Amino acid sequence: MTNWPRYTRTLLSSATIIGVAVLVFILVMDPYQNVPFSPPLDRAPISSNQRFAYPAIARDEEYDSLVLGTSTTRLLNPAGLAPDAARFANLSMNSATAYEQMRIHEVFVRHHPAMKYLVIGIDGTWCDRSVTPQRYTFRAFPEWMYDENLYNDLLYLFNDKALENAVRMLELFRGRREPKYDRNGYHDFSADFNSRDEAGVLERLAPLARSTPVRAAVRPRRARSGNEFPSLASLADLLARTPSTTRIVLLLPPLHVHFISRKRALFSECKGKLLERVQGDHRIDVLDYFFASELTRSSQNYWDILHFTRAVALLIEDDISNVLAGRAPHPQYARFYGRSEAD
């Protein structure tokens, strides 16, 4: 004969004990580094979803400068960007929408009112013609991590993903796992490949080679009237919310020439609009690699049409550092619209 009240108590108390144990474990491991009262341990970004891993870096006072963008700027190593003692974090997120970039920028600005440098990768994300550009990708985006209140984050931490990341954090503490990203958000994803697969790269580039032959270098054109780029208005908002003392570089990354030739008209207009918008803003330099050049023509420089190699990243880092120091970039690869020239 079953004692049913005791049975119910056993069921509920076992669920409570297991549940509380799991919750305590998650809070102690603090996988997203957003638990206000977690014990001070040597944590690092552990979540594979950058949208969960980066808010903690954006709050970290260790950094005073920021790289924003998508995967096209992920290979820029923060260590090579600053011309001085500035400390960059690279919070470029794969396929980040304009909205997502604005959100991470908001967090960074909130915690770094004296931000020194800001580098923004201007790729297709900002040249989207959609009247209402999409806010999110298929990846989860935790809005609750991007507000000022860390305590409301606690409501969202009791789930299996947080548990999985808490276990990863434990493995990190025990030396059995590497951080997913460096503490400044950087990760050289090209290092994940053992060697550059030349045949694979050419295969990925081949279908695009049939596109329109590349003509002369792309010249920025003014957008036709009525042809707005809503995301550029968002970019203007983002720039307006950036501290007035911050030096800003808008970087048009060197995508492969096959991509450039396909999107030439769109990007030409977008660039024109961009230059119009930043005209007169003495904080901003525009560094443009988005045209046919020796750099963008060489398949050796690419993994696929959107992603250049680490060697190219080094060159860009050098240029950014030079521009921030008031020097000119490599003239054969980059167009430079400096603060005075953009006027």
Partner 1 sequence: MLFSSQIFILLFLPLVVGIFHSLPASAALRLHLLTFASMVFYGWWDPRFLPLLVVMIGANWLIARAYSRSGRSALISIGVALNLAVLGGFKYANFFAEAVLGVMGVEFQRWSIILPLGISFFTFQQISYLVDLRRGEARVYPFADYAAYVSFFPQLIAGPIVRHNELIPQFARLAARIDAECVARGLVLFILGLCKKVFFADELAPLADAGFEIAAAGDLPQTALAWQSALAYSLQLYFDFSSYSDMAMGLAGLFGFDLPVNFDRPYRATSIREFWRRWHMTLSRFLRDYVYIPLGGNRGGRVMTAVIVLTTMLLCGLWHGAGWAFILWGGAHGLAVCVNQLWAAGGMKMPAGVAWALTLFFVIVAWVLFRAENLADAARVLQAMFSNRGGVLEPVAWLYIVIGGLFALLGPTNAEFAHGRWVAHRGAAIALGLALVLVVLRVGQGRGLEFIYFQF
Q: Which stretch binds partner 1 (CB under 8 A): 3-11, 64-72, 250-258, 285-293?
A: 3-11
Q: CA nearest 139: which of 72, 231, 47, 232?
A: 47
Residue 19 is a binding residue for partner 1 (CB under 8 A):
yes
Judged by CB, which is closer to partner 1: 153, or 317? 153
**Cβ 102 to partner 1 shortest distance, Å:** 22
Judged by CB, which is closer to partner 1: 10, or 245? 10
Question: In 41-102, which ranges are E strands?
Answer: 65-68, 88-90
Candidates 159, 227, 245, 279; binder of partner 1 (CB under 8 A) is 159
Burial of 34 from C-beta contacts in 10 A (0-12 / 13-18 / 19+): buried
Assess contact for 105 and 241: CB atoms under 8 A. yes
Judged by CB, which is closer to partner 1: 140, or 233? 140
- Whole-angstrom Cα distance, residue 280 to residue 282? 6
Residue 24 is a binding residue for partner 1 (CB under 8 A):
no
Candidates 110, 139, 161, 177; binder of partner 1 (CB under 8 A) is 161
Residue 139 is a binding residue for partner 1 (CB under 8 A):
no
Pairing of strands 88-90, 117-121: unpaired
**Cβ 160 to partner 1 shortest distance, Å:** 4
Residue 15 is a binding residue for partner 1 (CB under 8 A):
yes
**Cβ 318 to partner 1 shortest distance, Å:** 42
Q: Please, where are the H alpha helices in the chain?
A: 4-29, 50-59, 98-111, 160-173, 198-209, 230-241, 257-262, 264-278, 294-297, 310-324
Q: Which stretch binds partner 1 (CB under 8 A): 84-92, 161-169, 229-237, 251-259?
A: 161-169
**Cβ 210 to partner 1 shortest distance, Å:** 23
- Tell which phi-psi region holds residue 106, choosing left (phi > 0), alpha (psi between -120 and 50) or beta: alpha
Residue 11 is a binding residue for partner 1 (CB under 8 A):
yes
Judged by CB, which is closer to partner 1: 5, or 226? 5
